[in-house]
Chain A
Amino acid sequence: MRQILKAIFVSKKIFTIIFIGFLLTTLPILIALSTQSYYEEHFYHSKNGHFKNYYSVTLTNFQNVDLLEIQELAETNFKDASVITGDITVTEPEIGQIQIIGLLNPENWSPPLIRGSNIVSNVNNEIIVGRLISDHIGTIKVLDHQYMIKGIAGKDLGDDLINVYNFKMYVYMNELPDSIKQNIIKQNALQLIVRSNQNPETEINRFISELSQQHSGLQAKIVDEHENYKKEKNARQGVNEVLSYPYKLFLIALINCINVSYLWIYSKRKEISLRKALGASNFNLFVHIVSQLIICAVLAGTCSILIQWFLSILSLKILNVTSYYISVSFSHFIFGILITLVISVITAIIPFFHMLKIEPAKALKE
């Protein structure tokens, strides 16, 4: 160990440059990862909650639709899954466009709140709204229907996550405004979204089967939306653009590390030749250079995690100004360590191949 540290100290200028390079490879990756998690969360909040499985169930051809009946069936049949209606967009003259979401079993999921409490009763016209619909608890008229605002929806984690809920309104499905109910009856179609961390297929089938018993001729189309959501999430150009910069910095810094380590190995040709001449195997030499790089990388990795921790204190300010979200989590810490190890090995590969070509006699003669 002492020998390795001594070797690093001898080439301190080169190792300083490599250290900065490692720092600027690890740090951007960690920032990119935390930013990516943030925007993933953002996406799933826009889909009214993050679950492993998403299914859309479109019910058509039912006679005498009774939303309360469907809601009660959902409450009894869905123990794990959360069921909501698809976003219903309406225009309220005083507010603008609103996305109304009917909740069928809010005990399994309800939106995060920045103020107030969840809705508990399906007979008192209780709703939860985004802060641009109303920023205070009280009454509000939406589509000629008087509601009682119980909570203000929004995830208190930067403007972006609060803004997702700005124009959303959550209400028990049986308490949707009359014009929406009439529209459902007129179209004879209702789209439900079933979300769950378990596989909800059994619950969906049981629900549809019970509903079909009461509505002969009812048709249900079930679509697994997981892949569609994934595609939609990956197609967000703005997010991809934001994430591309840390990855570019990573690539540029990594190339720099490889270049500098190449110079480092070249300047140590004689020493390596001597080691080869004295019987050191290629593996021994690889371990010799990788061990030095790993120490440098671990130092840089530790430093970048510390910097990230420091920046995470200002995360919301940084987010609002630059669109990057910086947070520290255990998984990021583990990933950071793995990255540093991988980077040090990548950095060692090209110099190592050069080292293999070194002919001791020729190099010692120079």
Chain B
Amino acid sequence: MFRIRSALHSLKSRWVISILLLIQFTYGFSTITGSVNIFYNLSYLSNQSILDLKSTYLVVPERMTGGLLKGKFNQDQVKEIYTKLDNDPDVVSYGTYYEDIVMLDLNEDKLDKKMVVELTKTNLGFDMPSISAIVLDQNYYQLLDLKLKPGQGLSDEDFNKNRNENVQVLVGSYFKKYYKIGDVINGQYTINGFLPDRYIVNNNTSNTYQKVDKVMLIPMSNDIYNNYDSMFTRLHLGTVLKLRENADMENLKEIIRLPENDVLLSLKSLEREVKQNVRDNAYIEIPQLILGASFVIFSVVGIVVTTIVSIMIRKREFGVKLALGESKLGILVQITIENSVIGITGVALSIGHFLWKYSRLLQFSSEFDYASPLDYKLNSPILFFIILVLLVIIVISSCIVYLFIRKLEPKSMIGGME
């Protein structure tokens, strides 16, 4: 306690350079927080896909010369494409999905107030809580290979029901706080498993994906699965294929194309898309990394310089302490506490600055929960990394300061009192 009081007193006596250091820390750590977020998200994108990146390919419209003209084709033609895919040796499996939103029934007893607030997507103009849902067919469910506990997951029966019938669903880990297996949402969706904290493709044409921690996976009902309109749209915008290595892409592109279709369909490698996204964003981060590295170097220099000045200003105080038996390590501890006070205050200010500067982006990220480089947040791994950088700065600067303290002699320090 005495040391902390002494540290605060010392910081007060050199308040100008202490404030300058605080400004340096605030901006520096704020930048580092942004960069850490980006690299955390890039690492997440590279490693946390539910779908196997290497073998997954997405059907995407390459060129659209008109709208999705469903009337031009018929159900048999679409079914024929899927039959050809079934028989193609390059296709391991395939499935289809579409995105949906489940509005939560506010009359339900179990709805937690905090959950209601967190699930209300104000950015979409909603004033009611909702859950992002991915409705998937049985093929796609099997392709995902979720490896859930025995007894959990979706059954064959769930895919044979009609819309509005009670079905079993899987929900993200976020819902573990509020629900348990067997609980029913909206009187229709029975939870039969929780999804791993990963991401899934929710839009074939986009390079942002959906984290599944706040998502509901719903089995596609039989009537929708066989509905031609839905089938046609899913072929163009919601088909996922798992292919063997060195698959004949040109042949597969030919298979999925409807004759004289205004929309030219193509296949996009999920791995290539994710890698490209990661590479582009890593390059864009170069200036921020330079800034971050400069900040770390300047912080070390700043701390060392201010500490040395502080020791020089108080050399009699330290000289007397050394003469009275205080160890040099004790002086180092005293100095380190002073620097830590600035460092911790700087980190706190930088977090405040980060939250203020990116408030809208943070709110957007929290509401939509997308897996994208700009999914900004302040979770424990990011805070841990920031504290780690602070520790590195304090340890390196303390080591350099110790080299200076080691040479101090009480006699020369108190000399002026004679």
Give the docked Cα–Cα distance between A263 and B288 (Å).
Answer: 29
Give the docked Cα–Cα distance between A242 and B34 (Å).
Answer: 13
Q: Which of A251, A259, A267, A323 contacts B21 (CB 8 A)?
A: A259
Give the docked Cα–Cα distance between A253 and B16 (Å).
Answer: 16
In the complex, which residues of chain B have a beta carbon less than 8 angstroms from the beta carbon of A279? none
Q: Is the CB of B294 within 8 A of A262?
A: no
Q: Is the CB of A259 within 8 A of B302?
A: yes
In the complex, which residues of chain B have a beta carbon less than 8 angstroms from the beta carbon of A331? none
Closest partner residue, chain B, to A350 (CB atom) = B16
Q: Which residues of A242-291 have CB atoms within 8 Å of chain B's CB atoms? A: 242, 245-246, 248-249, 251-253, 255-256, 258-260, 262-263, 266-267
A15 within 8 A of B: no
B337 within 8 A of A: no
Q: A251-B23, A262-B17 known; A321 and B283 CB under 8 Å?
A: yes
Q: Which residues of A73-122 have CB atoms within 8 Å of chain B's CB atoms? A: 93-94, 96
Q: Is the CB of A24 within 8 A of B286?
A: no
Give the docked Cα–Cα distance between A267 and B415 (Å).
Answer: 17
In the complex, which residues of chain A have a beta carbon less than 8 angstroms from the beta carbon of B31? 245, 248
A2 within 8 A of B: no
In the complex, which residues of chain A have a beta carbon less than 8 angstroms from the beta carbon of B416? 365-366
Q: Is the CB of A321 within 8 A of B23?
A: no
Give the docked Cα–Cα distance between A17 and B284 (Å).
Answer: 28
Q: Is the CB of A249 within 8 A of B17?
A: no
Stretch at the interface among B115-123, B196-204, B306-314: B306-314
Give the docked Cα–Cα distance between A260 and B309 (Å).
Answer: 10
Give the docked Cα–Cα distance between A246 and B31 (Å).
Answer: 11
Number of interface residues of A (CB under 8 A): 30
Most buried by A among B24, B287, B301, B313: B287
Give the docked Cα–Cα distance between A259 and B288 (Å).
Answer: 23
Q: Is the CB of B305 within 8 A of A262?
A: yes
A324 within 8 A of B: yes
B291 within 8 A of A: yes
Q: Which residues of B22-43 have CB atoms within 8 Å of chain A's CB atoms? A: 23-24, 27-28, 31
Q: Is the CB of B305 within 8 A of A255?
A: no
A322 within 8 A of B: yes
In the complex, which residues of chain B have a beta carbon less than 8 angstroms from the beta carbon of A323? 284, 287
B174 within 8 A of A: no
Q: Is the CB of A24 within 8 A of B294?
A: yes
Contact code string B256-286 (vs A, CB < 8 Å = 1, else 0) = 0000001000000000000000000001101
Q: Is the CB of A263 within 8 A of B309?
A: yes
Give the docked Cα–Cα distance between A96 and B27 (Å).
Answer: 43
Give the docked Cα–Cα distance between A343 and B262 (Å).
Answer: 62
Contact code string A320-346 (vs B, CB < 8 Å = 1, else 0) = 011110000000000000000000000
Distance in Å from the Cβ of B395 to the closest Cβ of chain A?
A: 19
Give the docked Cα–Cα distance between A22 and B286 (Å).
Answer: 21
Give the docked Cα–Cα distance between A92 and B251 (Å).
Answer: 30
Give the docked Cα–Cα distance between A253 and B262 (Å).
Answer: 57
Q: Which residues of A1-45 have CB atoms within 8 Å of chain B's CB atoms? A: 17, 21, 24
Give the docked Cα–Cα distance between A130 and B397 (Å).
Answer: 55
B20 within 8 A of A: yes
Distance in Å from the Cβ of B318 to the closest Cβ of chain A?
A: 14
B298 within 8 A of A: yes
Give the docked Cα–Cα distance between A357 and B66 (Å).
Answer: 79
Q: Which residues of B4-58 have CB atoms within 8 Å of chain A's CB atoms? A: 16-17, 20-21, 23-24, 27-28, 31
Interface residues of A (CB under 8 A from B): 17, 21, 24, 93-94, 96, 242, 245-246, 248-249, 251-253, 255-256, 258-260, 262-263, 266-267, 321-324, 350, 365-366
Can you report 14 residue pairs joining A to B where beta carbons are below 8 Å apart?
A: A245-B31, A245-B291, A248-B291, A255-B20, A255-B302, A256-B301, A256-B302, A259-B17, A259-B20, A260-B301, A262-B17, A263-B305, A322-B287, A323-B287
